[in-house]
Structure 1
Amino acid sequence: MSRSLNLKSLWQDIRTRGVAPAGARMGQWRDWVVENDPVYGSFRRPGRTEKIAASVVLVLIAAIVIFLLLFDWNWLRGPIGRWASAKYDREVALQGDLDVRLFSWTPSVIVNDLKFGGPSWATEADTANVERIEAQFRLRKLFVGQVEMPLLSITRPRVVLIATEDGRQSWDLEPDKPDDGEGAKLPLINRLVITDGRLSVDEQRRDLTLEAAVTAQEAASDADGQSGFVLEGEGSINGSPLTLKIEGGPFINIRRNRPYGFKATLAGAGSRLVADGAITRPFDLGQFTSTLSLQGQNLNDLYLLTGVTLPNTPAYRLAGALTRDDNIWTFNDFSGRVGASDLEGDVRVQGGGRLKVDATLSSQRLDIDDLTTILGGRAQTNAAGTDTTTISTGGTVGKLLPDATLQVERLRAMDGTISYRAASVKANDMDIRRVQLGGDLKDGVLNLDPVAFTFNRGTLTGTATIDANPEVPYSKIDFRLAGYPLESIIPARDGVAPVSGAALGRARLEGSGNSIHRFAAASKGSLSLVVPQGRMRAAFAELLGINASAGLLKLLRGDDSQSTIRCGVADFDVANGIARARTLVVDTDVVLASGTGSINLGDETMNLKIDGESKRPRLLRLWTPILVSGPLTAPRVGVDTSQIIGQGGLTALLGAVVAPVAALFAFVDPGLAEDANCGSLIANAR
C-alpha cells in the first residue's frame, strides 16, 4: 500500500514539475505560430494565389502519374542501349519489350531479349544474351540507399567468357582499372531463379575450355527437379579433361547475416579439389570459409587450376581450412601426405595486382626421395604411401644432375616466401637426418636461404640464387660441407670400413641454364674437398702407389690393418662446366699420391691420373699411374698399360684388385700437389 502511494506521489511530482510546464510552453509556441506564421496562415485561409499554386501542383502530379501509367517504356530501349554501348565500349541492345512497374512497394523491371556484346577484340561472340530478366526491388530499402531484390529471375542466359594469353578479359567492363583482387559484391537477392542457363569459358593462357549448365530454382515437388543452385560443366585444360560442379541451397528468404552453404568439386590437370563451406555474407563473393581437400599426381599441376606456382612432387593428398577475405586466400592447418612424407602447414595467397604466396610447411618424417622430385627427378610412391623410389633423374638414365626445365615464366609471375623443416628423415644412403629450407621470391629472383641438411655426422649448408628475368636464367650457388664421414661415402666391406675420417668441402658456382644439369654444364667457379686426417685400409694405401707386393699380400692375407691419412685435398677450378684439378693429393703414411685431370660436369664424366710414390722400399712396384675415367655414376679404375715395362700379365689382376678404391676417387676427388705439406695444402683449398 505504501509503495503504491509513493509511486502516485512521484507521478504527481513529475506532472507538476515537468509535464505541465512543457505543455504550457508548447501551447504558447502554437499560439505564436497561429498568430504570426504566414505559411500556416496561407494554409488555413488560402488566398487566390495559394489556390492557383495548389491546383497547378495537383495537376502536375496527376499528369506525371497518368504519364507514367500510359508511358511506353520501349521508347527508352534505344537511348539506354546507346548509352550503355558508349560507356562499356561494346554493343549493348535491348531487343525485346521493356516493362517497368513503378507503383508498388516492390517496383519491378522486365527486360526481354538483352544482348551484351563482346569488346572490340572479341566480337566473334557476345558476352551475354538473355531471353528474359525480371528484377523486383524493395522500395523502403531504396529510400535508405540500399538495394534489396525480392526476386531476380533470369531465363535462358547464354554467357561467354574469353581470356587471352596477354590477360585481357571479355567480361571486364573497366579494363584500365587496376585489379584489387576483391570478389564481386552483389545486392541481396531474396529469391533467385535461373532457368536453362549456359556458360562457356575460353581461357587461352591455360588452354582451358568449359561448357556448363546453370540453374537456380526452388522446386515445389520432386517432379520439378532439385532445389537450389547448380553449375555443372565439362571441358579441358592443357589437353586433359576438366569437370566442375558447384552446388548451393535454394535462394529463398536469403539474409545477409545467414551464411549460404555450397559445395564445389573441380577435377582436371591430374588433380581433384573439393570445397565444402559457406559464403559468410550471401552475395558478397569475397567472403567465404570452407574445408578443402585436394589430391593429385603432382602439386605443380595445380598451377593450371589456381595460378599458384608450386614445386614438382610425387602424388599428394591434403586437407585443411580454406578462407577468402577479399583478395587474401588462406589454406590453414592443412595436413596430409606428399609421396611417402607427411606434410602440414599454412599457405597465404594475396591477389590484387601481383600474386604473393607465403607458405610455412613442416614434416615429421621426410622420405628424401620425395624431395628429389623438386629438383626435377622422377619418383614413384607405393600404393600404401609408405615408400618413394627414385626412378630416374631428368629422364636420363645414369645421370646425377636432373635436366628438368625450370618454369621461369611462373617464377616471374608471382612473389612469395617459403619455410620448410623436416624434423626427421627416413633412413637413406646419405644418412640425412634433418632438413631445413627457406626461400624468398621477389621480382623474378629466387633466393634460397638456408639450404641445410644435417647428417648423422656433419652438415651441408648454403645458399642459392636463381634470376629468372633473363631469357635463360642465371644462377649462383655456395654450399659448404662440414664433418661428413667418409664411411658414408664408401660403405664397409665385411664389417671393415675401407676409409674413415671427416670431409670438408665447398662448391661455389655460377652460370646460365634453365635446369640444374644445364647450369652445371655452363658454370664457372670452384669445387674443393678436404680430408684433414683419417684412416685407410693399409692394403688400399699400398695400391695407391702400385706397390703390388705389399698391397696384394695384405689383401690375400685378409689384413685389416690401417694406414693413417695425413691429409687429402681435391681443389678444382671450373670454367664452362669443366672442373680442372688445381690440387689433387692423398698423403698417407706409406704412399704419397698426387694427380691431374678434369671432370666434365656437362656429360658427367671424369678423366683423372694418379701417380703414387712409395715412402718405403717395396719389392714389387709398377711404374705406371692409376687412371680414373668414365661416368661419375660408375667410374672405371685401371692403370696406364702403355708405361708398364714388364709383367704385363699382372695388369688385369691389378685392375680388379684396385677396383674398390673407385668409390674413393668418385667422391673424394683427390688432387695435385708436389709437396705433402698438409697445412699449406689445406689452407690453400677453397
Structure 2
Amino acid sequence: MTERPVPHPLRRTLAILAGLLALALILLAALWNWDWFLPLIERRAAAALHRPVTIAHLHVRPGWTTTITLDDVHIGQPAGFTSEKQDFAGARSITVAVKPWPFLVGRGLTLPLVAFDAPHGDIVALPDGRDNYSVTTDGRPADTAPPALPNIGELRITDGDIRVALARLRSDFRLALHTTPPAEGKPGTIVAEATGRYAAQPITGHFVGGALLTLADARNPYPVDLRVANGPTSVTLRGTVDDPLHLAGAHLGLTLAGPDMSRLYPLTGIPIPHTPRYSVSGKLDYTEARIRFTGFEGHLGGSDLNGDITIDPHQTVPFVEAALHSHLVDLADLAGFVGGEPGHAKTANTADSNVLPDQRIDVPKLNAVNAHIAYHGDHIENKRIPLDNIEVDATVRNGAIDVRKLDFAVGTGTLASTATLTPAANDDFSTRFKLDVARVPLARLMRGAAGLEGQGTIGGHVTLSSTGHSVANLVARGTGGITLVLDQGGHLSAILPDLLGLQLGNALLSALGLPNRTPLHCFIADMPLRDGILSTRSFLIQTGDTRTTGDGTVDFRDNTLNYALTTRAIHFTIASFPGAVHITGPLRAPTILPGAEIAGRLAATGALAAVFPPAAIIPTIQFGVGKGSACEQAVQQAYTHPAAGIAPGATTGLRPSAAAKTGRAHAAHPAARKSAAQVRAAWEKKQQQNGH
C-alpha cells in the first residue's frame, strides 16, 4: 500500500489564498455599492456631452458577460437652451451587456445587448440655426464624424418618446418608438408613430423598419414601410435601402397624393407651382448618387400625368431633370405654372378686377433648385380655347427662368412662345416674352367662339418687355404690342357685325338659326402696349357687307377699357342702324353704350313713324360709301411699323403685298372711324339734350 503524497506547505497556502480571494471577490461583487462610481461617471459623461448628466443608481453583475444598468438617467440641455422644460435626453433605465474578454485580448468591444427603457428626448433647432443636438459647446453643428459603433448584438427600445421642434421647418411633433425582438429567424423591427405639426400642418406617420442594428449591415437591404399624412398630403413609401448609413442605393415604391403639389415643398425641398388635386405612383431609387422617380403615373386635376424625374442632390444647388408627358391635358390644370389659380373655379371672384393671373411668382423657392423641364401634352381638352397639344421646354438656373419653348398646335398652325424671367430687386422679375402666331387657320381658331366661322389664316406676333412679380403685374408695367393679320379671306357669321351695327333684321335671322354667311375679307389688329396701356394703331374687321373699325385703349394698370367700335355697311342695307358703340369701364363688367348717331337715328325713326309709317325706313337705309383700300392700308401699316416690333412675315402664309391684295375692299367714309373720346362726347351731349 502506497502512501498519498503530502502537499507542499507552500502549495497549500496558495490554494487557500486563491479560494479566499475568490470568495472575497464574490462577496465584494455582491455587497459592493457601485453607486460610489457615479460621481466619476457623471463628470466624464458631462465633459464628453457638454451637458449636465445625473444618474440615480449603478448596478453591475460581473461575469463572462457582464451586465451594467444605469437607473433614472437625465441629460440636461446645453447652454443656450436652459429655457426648455424637458431634459435633452434620458431614460428610466439603460442596460448594457458587455463581453470583457474579447476587448481585453484586442478583438474589439462586443455588446450582446443595449436596452433603453422609456427613453425620452427633446430635439430643438432655433430660427438662428443653433440646435441642442450637436455635441459642441456653442450649439453649432459638429464638423467631425461620429465614432465607429461597437459590435452590438441587439438594440432594444421600449416606450420611447422623442419630441422634435424645428423652427425653420415650422415643426413640432413627437415620435413614439419601440422595437420588436427577433423571432423565428427573422430580425426584429423598429416601429415609430409620429403626431404633431410639420410645416405648420398637422402630421401623422407610421414607420416600420428593420432592426436598428441592421442599418450598418451593408450586405443586406434595409426594409422600409412608411405612411405619412401631412395636412391633406399623403405619402406612402415601401421597399428597401442598400447600406443606409452610406446611402448606397434604394428600391422603393412611392405614392404621393393631395390637393396641391406646392404643398410637397416642405417634404421634398423641390418647389412646384400650385396645382389641382393630384395622385401619382412610381418607383423611387437611388443609384449613381442620383435620386430617381421613374415610371410614375397618375393624374393632375382632369389631366393624366406620367414621366421620370431625376435629382442630383450633391451639387451646390440641387439639380432636377424632369421629362413629363400627358395623353390628355386640361389647360386649367396648368394655370398655376403661370401664376393663375389652377382648376375650374365654380364662381368668379367679382371682387378681383384683374383679368390676368395676379398670383406672385415665388422667387425664393426658385432659388432652391436648378432644373430642366420637358413636357408634352398629346391632346388638350378645353372647350373655350381651340388648342390641340402643348410642348414645353424650360430651365431654371440661379432663380432665372428660361422658357425655350411653349408651343401649342392649332390645326395646321402653331402658337409658339418664348420667355425669360430674370430675378430683379424686390422679388420682381425682369421679363421678355414673345408669341409667334404662325399660319393659324381661322376655322380652327373660331371653333371655340360661338357664331364665328372662317377659312382664312391668321399670323403675327405678341411681344412684352417688363419687370414685375405676376402676369398681371408684368402686363400692367409692360411695353410691347400685338400685331395680327388675317390672310386668304374666309367667312364670318353675320351675327357679330350685325350686333355691333345693330342691324336688327339680320341679327333676328341669326338668332332664329338662319345666319347669313358673309365673306370675311380682312382682319387687322395692330395695337402697341406702352407702360401697361394697350392703344390702337389699327383694328379692322371687314366682311362682304360691313366694315368694323376700332379705336381706344385698354388700361391694364387698373383693368379698365375705353373703346369704340364703328360698323358701316359697305352696300345698300335695310333695317340697319350703323354707327359707333362705346365700351367703357372695368374689363370684367364693362358698360356698353350706343353712340349718339345710333340714338339719333332711333329717335328719328320713332318720330317719322308717328307721322307717316312708310317713312320710318328712311333712317335705316345705309348706302355704300365708295371705293377705297382701307384694309390694304391697314395691312401695309402692320408690315411697315408693326406694334409688336416684328412684322407678320411668313407667319400668315402670304407676303405683305399678297396679304394686302387679299384684303382690298371698299374704303370707309371719313366718318366711319370714330375715336372712343368722340363717341363718348357725342353720347353725353345727346343725353344732356334729352334731359338725362
Q: TM-score, normalised by structure 1?
A: 0.71
- CA contact 1:464–1:475 (8 Å) conserved in 2: no
Aligned residue among 38, 48, 51 for 1:84: 48
- CA contact 1:452–1:460 (8 Å) conserved in 2: yes
C-alpha distance in structure 1 between counterparts of 2:404 and 2:38, whole Å = 68
C-alpha distance in structure 2 between counterparts of 1:562 and 1:178, whole Å = 80
Partner of 1:32 in structure 2?
Answer: none
Partner of 1:25 in structure 2?
Answer: none
- CA contact 1:545–1:614 (8 Å) conserved in 2: no
Partner of 1:205 in structure 2?
Answer: 168
Aligned residue among 349, 356, 361 for 2:324: 361
Q: Displacement, 1:266?
A: 0.7
Partner of 1:438 in structure 2?
Answer: 393
Aligned with 2:133: secondary structure? Answer: coil
C-alpha distance in structure 2 between counterparts of 1:326 and 1:144, whole Å = 38
Matched, 1:425 2:380: yes
Partner of 1:172 in structure 2?
Answer: 134
Matched, 1:483 2:449: no
What amino acid does structure 2 have at the position aligned with 1:194? Answer: I
Partner of 2:534 in structure 1?
Answer: 579
C-alpha distance in structure 2 between counterparts of 1:374 and 1:184, whole Å = 47
Aligned with 2:262: secondary structure? Answer: helix
What amino acid does structure 2 have at the position aligned with 1:470? Answer: A
Deviations 1:129-157 (A, max 9, x none): 23443445778699999877543222322
Q: Displacement, 1:341?
A: 1.8
- Residues 531/236 of structure 1: CA separation in 2 closer, same or farther (3 Å cut): same
C-alpha distance in structure 2 between counterparts of 1:446 and 1:146, whole Å = 56
Which stretch has the larger CA shift, 507-516 or 238-247? 507-516
Partner of 1:516 in structure 2?
Answer: 471
- Residues 448/144 of structure 1: CA separation in 2 closer, same or farther (3 Å cut): farther
C-alpha distance in structure 1 between counterparts of 2:278 and 2:496, whole Å = 49
| Unaligned segments of structure 2, at least 5 residues | 1-24, 607-629, 645-692
- Residues 484/442 of structure 1: CA separation in 2 closer, same or farther (3 Å cut): same
Q: Displacement, 1:617?
A: 6.7
Partner of 1:343 in structure 2?
Answer: 305
What amino acid does structure 1 have at the position aligned with 2:484? Answer: L
Aligned residue among 466, 469, 490 for 1:535: 490
Q: Displacement, 1:540?
A: 6.4
Aligned residue among 394, 408, 415 for 1:453: 408
What amino acid does structure 2 have at the position aligned with 1:448? Answer: V
- CA contact 2:260–2:278 (8 Å) conserved in 1: yes
Aligned with 1:305: secondary structure? Answer: helix
Deviations 1:237-264 (A, max 9, x none): 3554210111134568885422232311
- CA contact 1:200–1:210 (8 Å) conserved in 2: yes
Aligned with 1:300: secondary structure? Answer: helix
Matched, 1:679 2:643: no
Aligned with 1:205: secondary structure? Answer: helix
- CA contact 1:627–1:640 (8 Å) conserved in 2: yes
Aligned with 2:328: secondary structure? Answer: coil
Matched, 1:502 2:457: yes
Which stretch has the larger CA shift, 187-196 or 357-366? 187-196
C-alpha distance in structure 1 between counterparts of 2:364 and 2:109, whole Å = 43
Partner of 1:320 in structure 2?
Answer: 282
Q: TM-score, normalised by structure 2?
A: 0.70
C-alpha distance in structure 2 between counterparts of 1:146 and 1:648, whole Å = 110
- CA contact 2:442–2:453 (8 Å) conserved in 1: no
* Pairing of 1:218-237 with structure 2 (within 5 A): 218=181, 228-237=189-198
C-alpha distance in structure 2 between counterparts of 1:394 and 1:450, whole Å = 32
What amino acid does structure 1 have at the position aligned with 2:204? Answer: T
- CA contact 1:548–1:622 (8 Å) conserved in 2: yes
Q: Displacement, 1:319?
A: 1.4
Q: Displacement, 1:350?
A: 3.6
Partner of 2:219 in structure 1?
Answer: 257
Q: Displacement, 1:287?
A: 4.8
- CA contact 2:506–2:516 (8 Å) conserved in 1: no
Q: Displacement, 1:230?
A: 1.2
C-alpha distance in structure 1 between counterparts of 2:332 and 2:146, whole Å = 40
Aligned residue among 158, 161, 172 for 2:123: 161
C-alpha distance in structure 2 between counterparts of 1:80 and 1:625, whole Å = 94
- Residues 279/613 of structure 1: CA separation in 2 closer, same or farther (3 Å cut): closer
C-alpha distance in structure 1 between counterparts of 2:41 and 2:67, whole Å = 16
Deviations 1:319-372 (A, max 9, x none): 122234697433222212222222112223343554433322111222233223
With CA pairs under 8 Å and 6+ residues apart, which has the higher RCO, 1 or 2?
2
- Residues 323/176 of structure 1: CA separation in 2 closer, same or farther (3 Å cut): farther
- Residues 610/413 of structure 1: CA separation in 2 closer, same or farther (3 Å cut): same
Deviations 1:602-626 (A, max 9, x none): 4444322234566557788767433
C-alpha distance in structure 2 between counterparts of 1:183 and 1:518, whole Å = 52
What amino acid does structure 1 have at the position aligned with 2:360? Answer: T
What amino acid does structure 1 have at the position aligned with 2:521? Answer: I
* Pairing of 1:58-457 with structure 2 (within 5 A): 74=38, 76-77=40-41, 79-81=43-45, 83-85=47-49, 90-93=50-53, 95-96=55-56, 114-125=73-84, 126-135=87-96, 149-173=111-135, 189-218=152-181, 228-250=189-211, 255-281=217-243, 287-324=249-286, 328-351=290-313, 354-378=317-341, 389-391=344-346, 400-426=355-381, 428-457=383-412
Q: Displacement, 1:285?
A: 6.1
- CA contact 1:376–1:394 (8 Å) conserved in 2: no
Deviations 1:405-435 (A, max 9, x none): 3333322333222221112233533222211
- CA contact 1:545–1:592 (8 Å) conserved in 2: no
Aligned with 1:191: secondary structure? Answer: strand
What amino acid does structure 2 have at the position aligned with 1:481? Answer: V
- Residues 565/282 of structure 1: CA separation in 2 closer, same or farther (3 Å cut): closer
Partner of 1:599 in structure 2?
Answer: 554
Aligned with 1:248: secondary structure? Answer: strand
What amino acid does structure 1 have at the position aligned with 2:459? Answer: L
What amino acid does structure 2 have at the position aligned with 1:335? Answer: E
What amino acid does structure 2 have at the position aligned with 1:122? Answer: F
Identity among equivalent positions (%) equals 22
C-alpha distance in structure 2 between counterparts of 1:277 and 1:244, whole Å = 17
Aligned with 1:596: secondary structure? Answer: strand
- Residues 414/166 of structure 1: CA separation in 2 closer, same or farther (3 Å cut): farther
C-alpha distance in structure 2 between counterparts of 1:327 and 1:583, whole Å = 58
